[in-house]
């Protein structure tokens, strides 16, 4: 029997390529924010635990202050891809979400607790109280959200286990294990390090602080980069043989998926450059502005390449199991699509203006 629920008879209101494009762009930005949050928080916790010098506390505070803001980006940049994913992959994603329903819904409560703890962490650091354990709990909670998201995003690709899971628990209280891609996918998101290299170029640090942040941050980012690289290679190597082969030789009519496979090589090259740059920043204690600009661009490009490759893996995995994302009725409502795009561009313009206002604002030194 076909494992996927029947397709919704309501046609899609926009071309599939457009929905996929918007999905990939917004999801890549969500991943940039997630890497900043999880990597930045881990480093801030370590810095506040091993209070090596006053400089390490300045760096921990600088990171913690920003993490509450980063969290708003994690959440707001998570909503659009969730909507696009539901439109494109609803029959798979809704099923897997229901199967782990208790855990899936608990993300909201875990998220609120983690967010509150981030403020507590930052507040305690500001007044010189012991804070590392608060940050550590927030990191563990955020990491468990990441684990639940990875669990759902891999479960949606395994219709063959759905029936057995539903028999084990119709309440949605059963977490699946046994998917070899789960742990490396999760690990990939836990090891973002470029945020601290970016911070070293901020003019709100004194020259001494900058050198400390660049030296320590660069070395940590290089190590995190190696973990990220290993997790990525691990995740790719444990994909089912059919998916690996479809990425190289896609079925007739879907030749463009070759480029999704190439994105994996692009990702590899970009990550290698990022690790090299981080090591240069770390060992050379480079605090130049070009380094900050370079790592911001690299982080965005890395996540775009990663998301494109990941999207190819998802589509081809589903295709091998009888779910074709392109096989949907589309009746485009161009007025609505046009209005959406106008508002989207206007929204980007407003955000750009807000960022420029922030950039022109009077600087407050980090140690103040």
Binding site for ligand HEM (CB under 6 A): 27, 30, 34, 74-75, 78-79, 81-82, 85, 111, 114, 142, 145-146, 149-150, 153, 185, 189
Q: At what angle do helices 257-284 and 241-248 cross, to 10 degrees?
A: 100
Nearer to ligand HEM, 81 or 250 (CB): 81
State the minimum distance, in angstroms, from the CB of residue 38 to ligand HEM.
6
State the minimum distance, in angstroms, from the CB of residue 150 to ligand HEM.
3
Nearer to ligand HEM, 189 or 308 (CB): 189
How many angstroms from the chain centroid is the CA of residue 248? 25
Nearer to ligand HEM, 140 or 268 (CB): 140
State the minimum distance, in angstroms, from the CB of residue 88 to ligand HEM.
8
Count of residues making up the chain: 368
State the minimum distance, in angstroms, from the CB of residue 182 to ligand HEM.
8
State the minimum distance, in angstroms, from the CB of residue 257 to ligand HEM.
17
Give me the DSSP letters along 137-200: HHHHHHHHHHHHHHHHHHHTT-HHHHHHHHHH-TTS-------TTHHHHHHHHH---HHHHHHT
Task: Determine contact, residues 328/16, Cβ cutoff 8 Å.
Answer: yes
Nearer to ligand HEM, 145 or 263 (CB): 145
Task: Determine contact, residues 164/133, Cβ cutoff 8 Å.
Answer: no
Give SS3 for 216: helix
Q: What does the block give as tokens for 242?
A: 């059919």
Instruction: State the residue number with the nearest CB to ligand HEM.
Output: 78
State the minimum distance, in angstroms, from the CB of residue 368 to ligand HEM.
29
Nearer to ligand HEM, 34 or 45 (CB): 34
Give me the DSSP letters along 334-355: HHHHHHHHHHHHHHHHHHHHHH
Nearer to ligand HEM, 91 or 185 (CB): 185
């Amino acid at each position: 029997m076909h494992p996927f629920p029947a397709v919704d008879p309501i046609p899609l209101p926009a071309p599939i390529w457009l929905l996929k494009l918007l999905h990939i762009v917004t999801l890549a930005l969500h991943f940039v924010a997630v890497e900043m949050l999880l990597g930045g928080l881990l480093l801030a916790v370590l810095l506040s635990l091993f209070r090596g010098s006053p400089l390490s506390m300045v760096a921990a505070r600088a990171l913690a202050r920003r993490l509450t803001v980063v969290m708003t980006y994690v959440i707001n940049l998570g909503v659009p891809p969730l909507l696009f994913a539901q439109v494109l992959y609803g029959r798979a994603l809704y099923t897997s979400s229901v199967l782990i329903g208790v855990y899936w819904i608990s993300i909201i409560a875990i998220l609120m607790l983690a967010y509150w703890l981030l403020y507590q962490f930052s507040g305690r650091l500001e007044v010189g109280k012991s804070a590392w354990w608060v940050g550590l709990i927030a990191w563990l909670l955020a990491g468990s959200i990441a684990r639940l998201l990875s669990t759902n995003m891999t479960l949606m690709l395994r219709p063959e286990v759905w029936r057995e899971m539903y028999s084990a628990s119709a309440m949605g209280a059963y977490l699946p294990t046994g998917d070899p891609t789960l742990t490396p996918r999760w690990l990939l998101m836990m090891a973002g390090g470029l945020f601290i290299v970016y911070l070293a170029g901020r003019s709100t640090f004194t020259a001494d602080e900058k050198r400390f942040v660049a030296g320590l941050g660069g070395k940590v980012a290089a190590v995190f980069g190696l973990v990220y690289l290993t997790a990525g290679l691990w995740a790719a190597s444990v994909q089912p043989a059919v998916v690996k082969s479809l990425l190289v030789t896609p079925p007739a009519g879907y030749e463009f998926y070759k480029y999704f496979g190439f994105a994996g090589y692009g990702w590899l090259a970009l990550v290698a450059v990022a690790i090299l740059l981080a090591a240069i920043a770390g060992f050379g204690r480079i605090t130049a502005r070009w380094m900050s600009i370079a790592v911001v661009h690299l982080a965005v490009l890395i996540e775009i390449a990663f998301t494109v490759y990941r999207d190819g893996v998802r589509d081809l995995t589903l295709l091998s199991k009888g779910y074709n994302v392109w096989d949907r009725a589309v009746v485009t409502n161009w007025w609505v699509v046009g209005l959406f795009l106008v508002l989207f561009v206007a929204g980007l313009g407003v955000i750009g203006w807000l960022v420029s206002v922030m950039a022109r604002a009077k600087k407050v030194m980090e140690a103040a």
